[in-house]
Amino acid sequence: MNFWHSSDPESSIALSQTLTYADRLRIRQPGDETFALGPHVDGGSVERWETHGYGLGGVYDKVFEGSWEEFDSWDASTRVSAVMNNYNGLGACSMFRMFQGWLSMSKAKGFEGTLLVNPLLQLSTAYYLLRPFFRAIKGPKDVSTEEYLAADNWVFAGSEMTSELQGATPGHGQELDAGLHPHLELDTSMVHMPEVKPGDFVAWHCDTIHSVDKVHKGKSDSSVLYIPICPVTKQNAQYLVRQRQAFLDGTPGPDFPGGEGESRHVNRPAVSYLQEHADSEGLRAFGFEKLLTAESDGPGASRVLKEANEILGF
């Protein structure tokens, strides 16, 4: 998490250690075309424009003020109070994930059912946030692609602006495509992850546009464990204590459909198994040991670590 920083030392977030979020296992077989996620950004969609969403922390204020060059994607302090799910979106994550990520369980390279990302983090974020404020003078069917994308073909929407937030729908993630976001040139700006082998870990910023191959053209399965990177916040600690109980009960995590899960499985992993195989850092991340302060922790981080320990019962 060293890429991140907190511009406000009083912010209630600790970057010195991570908390676990039990997510999903994905197994994609060769030839699969059903798990074809197009370019998107998780963590809500319309919430990015709402004052009662990301606006609560002023996450994107610099962009909306017209100073997108000053927008700092890596400032964690603005994200603490942001609300990413105002509409009970299906599959939404209740924890703040600084990075989304997965652990590879198989060998895979480009076009073999793997991940693509847009590496232009600041530029792409500013673009899709400002996209609703501009309109084209001439449409793509009226002029060449070069003329359509030219700066002088786009003007501030002004009084002609509608309520449309291109690709954003309440309860869903932010979708992006060539028709709604032509200047992103997604056909060429999305790049594959390098070849991965079992045990390789891949992480990407929570604002990053990402997708997966439309078709898995490999010869073996493309399998990953989704493992995001979550800092210590009050919200994350509140979810962690519920997730810890779900583990003890053998039931699905709080963000997932209910049911008995593994509650009746014989010899399923218990706390004793974790204590035997995980170190103290891992046990703290899971909520089974008291969180510790680090020398790098400021007053806000120290305060939230104390609060998180109280939530966890320490």
Mean pLDDT computed over every residue of the chain: 96
pLDDT at 139: 96
Query: Mind listing the domains of the chain with CATH numbers?
Result: 1-20+231-314 (no CATH), 24-47+87-227 (2.60.120.330)
| Stretches in the chain below the pLDDT threshold 70 | none
194: its two tokens: 């390098």
pLDDT (tens digit, 9 = 90+) per residue, 59-88? Answer: 999 999 999 999 999 999 999 999 999 998
Bridge partners (DSSP) of residue 115 are 212
pLDDT (tens digit, 9 = 90+) per residue, 177-216? Answer: 999 999 999 999 999 999 999 999 999 999 999 999 999 9
pLDDT at 258: 82
pLDDT at 19: 97
pLDDT at 156: 96
pLDDT at 165: 97
